Amino acid sequence: MTQIVNDGTPEMRGLLDKGRKRLRNVGVIMLVLGIFAVAFPFATTIAFKTVIGWLFIIGAVGHFYGAWNAHTPTRRSIDVVQGIIFGLIGGWLAFFPLGGIVTLTVLLAIAFILQGLLEVLMASRLSQFPGWKWMLFSGGVAILAGVLIFAELPSSATWAIGLLLGINLLSSGFSYLMVSVAMGKVSKV
């Protein structure tokens, strides 16, 4: 791991200050977005789902472009089929606001449960090391979150994705701000 040390030169001080300001700005933006996401989880869920839909639509355009430029009929037909699939999924997610929320929430719950099971398995393998109980705890929390999301379906679909995205934005924004503060202390040395 490389450690950056402020050697006192104006160039280094300028680099540290520029990086610190950038991290601070990104952190503040993420905190503000996180607050809005937690305050309005349903609107965040719809917005997030719509963005995913548009990403699929862009992917469909890419597949159709690939089909247009394909040199073999097999490659062309594969790209056309993939483009159609991506386009249908993207259109469904982007243009039918309530259509894919439950599906995405189910996938989220499944992902939490699988992650939790893997962490519990890792904890059992790491039981001879200090701190293994934290891994076990984390796995239990992930499994519990997945089960609670499943238990509250379909109503959890209106808040789960938006709330979890908001918590993630708050956590990341806070960590960016803390790194920015630490960089400020280094740049003054």
Cβ–Cβ under 8 Å, residues 90 and 59: yes
- Rounded Cα gap, residues 189 and 185, in angstroms: 7
Report residue 4's pLDDT band, with 50, 70 and 90 as the boundaries.
low
pTM above 0.75, yes or no: no
Cβ–Cβ under 8 Å, residues 12 and 183: no
- Rounded Cα gap, residues 38 and 30, in angstroms: 12
At residue 23, what is the residue type? L
Closest C-alpha among 188, 177, 178, 180 to residue 6: 188
Window from 19-23, 95-99, 112-116, 127-131 with minimum mean pLDDT: 127-131
- Rounded Cα gap, residues 170 and 47, in angstroms: 17
Cβ–Cβ under 8 Å, residues 49 and 92: no
Residue 40 has pLDDT above 90, yes or no: yes
Residue 59 has pLDDT above 90, yes or no: yes
Note the pLDDT of residue 181: 82
DSSP state of 158: G
Mean residue pLDDT of the chain comes to 86
pLDDT tens-place string over residues 80-100: 999 999 999 999 989 987 877
Cβ–Cβ under 8 Å, residues 83 and 60: yes
CB atoms within 10 A of CB 21: 13
Residue 166 has pLDDT above 60, yes or no: yes
Note the pLDDT of residue 90: 92
Note the pLDDT of residue 8: 64
Residue 3 has pLDDT above 90, yes or no: no
